[in-house]
Amino acid sequence: MLDIIKHFWGAKRRWQTLRDVEALKLYQDKKARELVDYVKEHSSFYRHHWQGYDSNNWQHLPIINKALMMDNFDKFNTVGIKKDVALKFAHQAETNSKVSNRFTYGLSSGTSGERGLFVVDHQERAMWAGIVLARVLRQIKPERIALFLRGNSNLYQTVRRGRFLQFRYFDLSTPLEQSLQLLNAFQPTILVTPPSLLEQLASEREAGHLKIQPEQLISVAEVLEPQDKIKLESIFNVPVHQIYQATEGLLAISCKHGLLHLQEDLIVVQLESLGDNHFTPIITDLWRKTQPIIRYDLGDVLRLETEPCTCGNSWRVIKQIEGRKNDFIEISTSQGKANLFPDELRQSILSVTGVLDYTVIQKGINHLHIYLETSNTFNLVAANVKQCLEKLLQHFDATVKLEFTRGLPPRESTIKRRRIIRR
């Protein structure tokens, strides 16, 4: 617990002292150089991967990705953990089995293909807990925190129960009726959950089955769409904040004004342009040494705010997390290939009155299947959506088959929601 408290106050201090851009850059460079020196000595993968490169010029070291990390897992980590051992413990963690206290193992959701495997040690686990608490808790007072995630991990059990904090984990695979009973008994002051489940809980609250009034709502694990944020805030009558976290690191957390700041005291984010103000982040985790993340292509697509946040901190702000690079819809045009960004499709579909929710699945190069949940006559709403999409496609000089189905396709509760799916 002392380690968590140390990181808690350290995170508070850095949020205040590293607001200046130049001070932040100096801090990042110092931490990155220390990390690179350590990794060169302890990771045989990185030593080989960096051959022929000047490690002092760490901003330009070769990029890595999930496939490269997983293929070289045994040599990638710095503590000699074998991949088969890590996988065994990670699967045990998902079934609530007792695992090693020294290391925490976990698996990503695998929405982009192969599931990512991660390992952190005790200190990194304490750091995560301390920083999240520092950036989420707006004031020091007793809190009851309910956390919904896909699989269990002792990473999230680090803060279990204390004098001021009660921390309870809920598995997303638990039937909704049972979760409602547990939430009503627990009465959380802070609710942390993917937005897709938060919408279900909002409906249950409107129906009178969920009898809680949290003071904070925090969206995690999935993309929080702007229209969902507005709806949830109106039902719960509190702001919805966000934590943007991946297997590869804690990336961004909302400030008190609700804007999603990159956690630039923890990570360095280099942006590769995808055009039209869309970027993919190349991240370096400044704190993580067990499984070092240095110049890692995350594969997500972001848009950034152009104006600084009024909270006074200069750390960059994410305007929208668009999803994964493989969520782009690729179409054939008279000029060749073109990409439809998720936000272009979203804006076109949601501009139509009567659309409650949607899913777009690419069936072929110029074939989109649109699933619609509507409040009005389905045929009328679908016709209007078709008209809007055809108008969008005119800009690309593309002929695309548009197929419509009433209702949303089935989805497992333990799988991340994706509204744009390319097959």
* Interior angle at CA 72, CA 68 and CA 155, nearest 5: 90
Greatest alpha-carbon span in the chain: 66
Query: What is the model's pLDDT at position 237?
Result: 93
* Interior angle at CA 308, CA 305 and CA 311, nearest 5: 120
* β-pair partners for 370: 360, 404
Residue 415 has pLDDT above 80, yes or no: no
Among residues 331, 342, 346, the alpha carbon closest in space to that of 396 is found at 331
Cα 42 to the chain's mean position, in Å?
A: 29
Average pLDDT over residues 243-250: 83
Query: What is the model's pLDDT at position 277?
Result: 80
Structure tokens at 117: 């495997």
Cβ atoms < 10 Å from Cβ of 174:
13
Q: How much of the chain exceeds pLDDT 90, in percent?
A: 46
Decide if 340 contacts 329 (C-beta within 8 A).
yes
Q: What is the pLDDT of residues 335-348, one digit of tens each?
A: 778 778 777 888 88
Question: Phi/psi at 419 (nearest 5 deg)?
Answer: -85, -20
Q: Report how far apart the first and last C-alpha atoms of the chain are (Å, whole number).
A: 46
Residue 113 has pLDDT above 60, yes or no: no
One-letter amino acid of 313: N
Residue 414 has pLDDT above 70, yes or no: no
Residue 210 has pLDDT above 90, yes or no: yes
How far is residue 222's CA from residue 228's CA, in Å, rounded to a whole number? 12
Q: Which of 29-33, 76-80, 242-246 has the lowest mean pLDDT?
A: 242-246
Question: Length of the chain in residues, anyone?
Answer: 423
Task: Using pLDDT thresholds of 50, 70 and 90, give the confidence band for residue 14.
Answer: very high
**Residue in this structure with the two tokens 């890590």, named with its chain if needed:** 86
- The domain spans of the chain are 328-422
Decide if 76 contacts 45 (C-beta within 8 A).
yes
Average pLDDT over residues 259-265: 94
Query: What is the model's pLDDT at position 94?
Result: 66
Provide the pairing of β-strand 367-374 with 401-406.
parallel
Tally the C-alpha atoms within 13 A of residue 80's C-alpha that lie toward its C-beta.
0
Residue burial 260-287, b: 16+ Cβ < 10 Å; e: rest:
bbbbbbbbbbeeeebeeebbbbbbbbbb
**E-assigned strand segments in 83-198:** 103-107, 117-121, 143-149, 165-171, 190-193
Contacts of 364 (CB under 8 A, 6+ apart): 401
* β-pair partners for 225: none
* β-pair partners for 120: 104
Contacts of 307 (CB under 8 A, 6+ apart): none
**Residue in this structure with the two tokens 């943007």, named with its chain if needed:** 244
Cα 80 to the chain's mean position, in Å?
A: 28
The radius of gyration of the chain's CA atoms, rounded to the nearest angstrom, is 22
Query: What is the model's pLDDT at position 207?
Result: 93
**Residue in this structure with the two tokens 């704190």, named with its chain if needed:** 287
* Interior angle at CA 109, CA 230 and CA 422, nearest 5: 75
- CATH superfamily membership of 328-422: ANL, C-terminal domain (3.30.300.30)
One-letter amino acid of 308: P
* Interior angle at CA 99, CA 98 and CA 101, nearest 5: 115
Q: What is the pLDDT of residues 298-348, one digit of tens each?
A: 888 898 998 889 888 889 999 988 877 776 788 888 777 877 877 788 888
How far is residue 144's CA from residue 124's CA, in Å, rounded to a whole number? 23
Average pLDDT over residues 181-210: 92
Average pLDDT over residues 138-146: 81
Say what angle helices 226-236 and 195-206 make with each other, to 10 degrees.
30
Query: What is the model's pLDDT at position 188?
Result: 93
How far is residue 72's CA from residue 75's CA, in Å, rounded to a whole number? 6
Decide if 391 contacts 347 (C-beta within 8 A).
no
Contacts of 2 (CB under 8 A, 6+ apart): none
Kindly state the DSSP code that residue 398 receives in the 8-state scheme: -
Structure tokens at 295: 């110049």
Structure tokens at 27: 């801090």
How far is residue 262's CA from residue 305's CA, in Å, rounded to a whole number? 11
Structure tokens at 81: 């953990």
Residue 157 has pLDDT above 80, yes or no: no
